[in-house]
């Protein structure tokens, strides 16, 4: 077995009347074979996939290497080429209060 990523990946899927409407997959990458570390958010909706992170290569690698194969993400709506937004992602997981993740800063969107 080859280790490809070391970190954490909490996620959530939102439903309306039993039908999935969106998912958010939040990544904390402490080490990766890609060579990068950082935080990434992968958002999926019926109209497509959006990836947010400070490091374009790492963010798209996480989405394409992992999320596209996960039952709770890509299989809900199908997988499309992710739209990337360059933005620093803040990530805080506290077992007593839950997860808080957000992107902040100037957005620079590229397909």
42-62 pLDDT per residue, tens:
999 989 999 999 999 999 999
Q: What is the count of structural domains for the chain?
A: 1
Mean pLDDT of 67-82: 79
What is residue 33's predicted lDDT score, i.e. its pLDDT?
92
What does the chain come to in residues?
111
Residue 78: its pLDDT value, please? 81
- Is 82 a domain residue? yes
| Residue 77 domain-assigned (yes or no) | yes
Residue 94 domain-assigned (yes or no)? yes
Distance CA 69, CA 74 (A): 6
Identify whether 47 is part of a domain: yes
Taking alpha carbons only, the member of 36, 34, 43, 39 closest to residue 11 is 43
Could you tell me if residue 107 is inside a domain?
A: no
Q: Does residue 104 fall inside a structural domain?
A: no
Report the mean per-residue pLDDT for the chain: 85
**By the 8 A CB rule, do 85 and 63 touch?**
no
Q: Which domain holds residue 61?
A: 5-98
pLDDT bucket at 107, cuts 50 / 70 / 90: very low
């Amino acid at each position: 077995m080859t280790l490809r990523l070391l970190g954490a990946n909490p996620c959530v899927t939102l439903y309306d009347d039993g039908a999935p409407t969106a998912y958010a997959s939040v990544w904390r990458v402490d080490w990766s074979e890609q060579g990068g570390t950082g935080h990434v958010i992968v958002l999926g909706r019926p109209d497509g996939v959006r990836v947010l992170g400070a490091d374009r290569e790492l963010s798209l690698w996480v989405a394409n290497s992992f999320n596209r194969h996960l039952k709770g993400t890509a299989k809900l709506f199908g997988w499309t080429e992710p739209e990337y937004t360059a933005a620093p992602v803040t990530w805080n997981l506290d077992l007593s209060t839950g997860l808080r993740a957000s992107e902040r800063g100037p957005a620079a969107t590229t397909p």
